[in-house]
Amino acid sequence: MFDQLRRTVSGPVLGPGDDDFAAEVAAWNTATLHTPDIAVGLTSEEDAAGLVRVAAAAGTPVRVLATGHGSATPVTGGVLATTSRLSGVTIDAERRIAHINAGCRWADVIAAAAEHGLAPVAGASANVGCIGYTLGGGLGPLARTYGFSSDWARGFRIATASGDVVTASATENPDLFWALRGGKGGFGIVTSMDFELIELSTLYGGSVFFDAPQIAGALATWVDWTKTLPETATTSVVILRLPPMEFIPEPLRGKTVLSVRFAYVGDPAEGERLFQPIRDAGPTIIDAVAEMPAAQIAKIHNDPTDPGPGWDRGMMLTELDADFVSAFLGAAGPEQQVPFVAIEIRHLGGATHRDVPEGSAVGGRGGAYTLFMAGVPDPSLFTRVLPPAADALLAPLRPWISAETTINYAGGLTVPGSYEASWPSETFARLAEVRATYDPDTLFPYGPA
């Protein structure tokens, strides 16, 4: 198989003994070490199709790695196809369509679109790969206004288990298109995506930071405030336990703080008026909410850009109230000793609750909020310390935890039931049917082991 792949594929074909193997399979989440039997660096659609044909003939499973932000579970055998060489974004400004190759990150698309006064409905981090994020739905800083990111996908090119590269869109292979907008993995190797852009050059947004004594009041204000916001406003809140290190801004260094993030699409004066209740909630350490270029939207969340070890757990919440605030602060507030660097709540609703006209496989449209926990980035804690700490933190929050979630918040699918809960039961069943149609021999395994 090794020799056959090298004769078939233009990109590198590497084994564990090759010098470049470790770098080829490295994930952005450095806690996950992939050890496939073979790594194949794709350089074209033809490479993807050739790889699939060879792997199918050998009965060898294929998995795909882009940036590795979502790599929570190691790949321990088979073939790992890497897409980083499939780079490049082209913008059709008249049609407002970005053609995004599989190796692109949102930063590439944001920069290219901004030249035309356009923007993608992207994720909070510009460093995340576009394809894997979109296949899982995707909830970004404009979600209440524009919905899940996958709602803006207009077509995919994908190498399926037959060895053919096909188009999946509303008019070609619509069942596969439905599945790729939110169904995540197990359908083939996506080589590119057409993504509709929005007209947006500026917005009113950013983040403010409250010191520990103000957290309780600011959080209570935030929960009440979210119930008054129009769909043109999207917000999230996060408790950060920041280390006393130089890369942290000096006013925040070594502190436990609450950050409120905000993005408003419309008149900046109206955005300022809408945000005023948060400013009135108490003195802030930093106030960085103002009119900003849409091309700088990643500054709202300021997610890490360098690779590192990561552990997280996510879920959705129902409507919040004062009792939730008390329970949450009792479990995760500044006086609690918990091994989490970030505990975040995002406000949903608005466009996230409405499916696209032709339907999609996105799970979690009924969620009112999301909850996300990022553990201390010490891999020695990932197995024995962080899971029980998360269970303990979540126990008093059970009345508000939704039975449904969305797949991008399911982490490594290690929590029993998290895979099934990522979609409504009828969607879960239909996804299984689509996978069976396009991959009857499970060449592209997906789901918990």
Domain ranges (residues) in the chain: 2-82, 89-199, 202-422
Across the chain, which has 449 residues, the per-10-residue mean pLDDT values are 92 95 93 94 97 97 89 89 96 98 97 98 94 96 98 98 97 98 96 98 98 98 98 98 87 95 98 98 97 97 90 96 98 96 98 97 97 95 95 97 93 82 96 97 89
Note the pLDDT of residue 449.
61
Q: What does the alpha-carbon distance between residue 68 and residue 167 come to, in Å, rounded to a whole number?
A: 25
Note the pLDDT of residue 304.
85
Instruction: Quote the pTM value.
Output: 0.95
- Which residues, listed in sequence order, are joined to residue 286 by a DSSP beta bridge? 209
Fold of 2-82: 3.30.43
Tell me which residue has tokens 């021999």.
441
Q: Which two tokens stand for residue 175?
A: 């069942």
* CATH architecture assigned to 89-199: 2-Layer Sandwich (3.30)
Q: Does domain 202-422 have CATH number 3.40.140.10?
A: no
Note the pLDDT of residue 26.
94
φ, ψ of residue 276 in degrees (nearest 5)? -55, -40
